[in-house]
Structure 1
Amino acid sequence: MQFKRSYKSPVGNLTITTDGENITGLWFENQQNYETLLNDTVKEQYQPIFDKVTHWLDEYFSGNKPTINFSLKPTGTDFRMNVWSKLREIPYGETVTYGDIAQQIATERGQSKMSAQAVGGAVGSNPISIIIPCHRVVGANGSLTGFGGGIDRKIKLLNNEKVDMSSFYVPSYSTKP
């Protein structure tokens, strides 16, 4: 069984999920069908781990660099788990590109290269937003793309970490009539 709790943050309401011992999800309000990604029934019920996570989030949104003192248990394929572990290595207040992560994984596997798009798919399926910092990944050209919580939230999270935003941009997408 999974349990959930809401948290009001500066980037909107968040939903935290746990199996009672580990954090299994941290989702933005209106993020696509997060509960369908869980294998169990989700019940709103207090769990002690929620206190640790909400304290961590309070510290994070206060501009501090809190230490994670609770366990995380995202569920995914081996490839996704590998990408998510790389996300956890990105220092607070810094960014990397999808290509950087792809190259790291390719090197570890003894390959000459790996698809940045495959990494992007794994980053986009991260079930524990903010704590597993997928918002710190940007496009090779400095574009702020590919964030499940929305680009506005990505910008707010990077600003919260005092990332120098002067070299980033939000690509505009136009459609021809």
Structure 2
Amino acid sequence: MQRLYFLTPDPQTTVTIANELNDLGLRRSEVHIMARDRRQLNDTGLREATLLQTSDAVNASKRGLLIGIPLGLVVGIAAATVLSIPGQAGNFALVIGLGIFGGLFGLWASTLVGVSVPDIKVEKFQHAYKRGAILMMVDVPGAREKEISDTIRRHHPDVEIEKITEEERRHAEGQGN
């Protein structure tokens, strides 16, 4: 899946695009909306974007897990060596236990950081969002990305359409899920 970001000028355009996306086979659950005044979209059936879509929480938690487990295992091996617990089972349990603890601690700590890091596109469009524009985050199948963005661009030339680039991914910029 690829996430496309549509910056729309008003609620009517947002609803029209959501209906067009529905006609193109996308479900409403694949469309997330950020609006300064959510009340203007209450009766549309569109979902408000959650913290998971607007922050780097999920990707940060993955990084924390990937760093925490090996670090916990290394600490476990060091602790098993220093403590000289008799028997292999005790040493094994200590290493595995600290590996699990390291993973959970890394997950927890990095998620705390990740929720404070906004998605790079949310951050980019923040000025427009605060002025009343509406940000649509649309999850589309990678193979249909061009078709969908071209269709929306053709019907709504005033709508800004972007996606997270490979360059932004490489620099570990905030990316919502």
Give the TM-score normalised by structure 1: 0.24
Comparing both structures, which one devotes a greater share of its residues to helix?
2
Give the greater-gyration-radius structure (CA).
2
Q: TM-score, normalised by structure 2?
A: 0.24
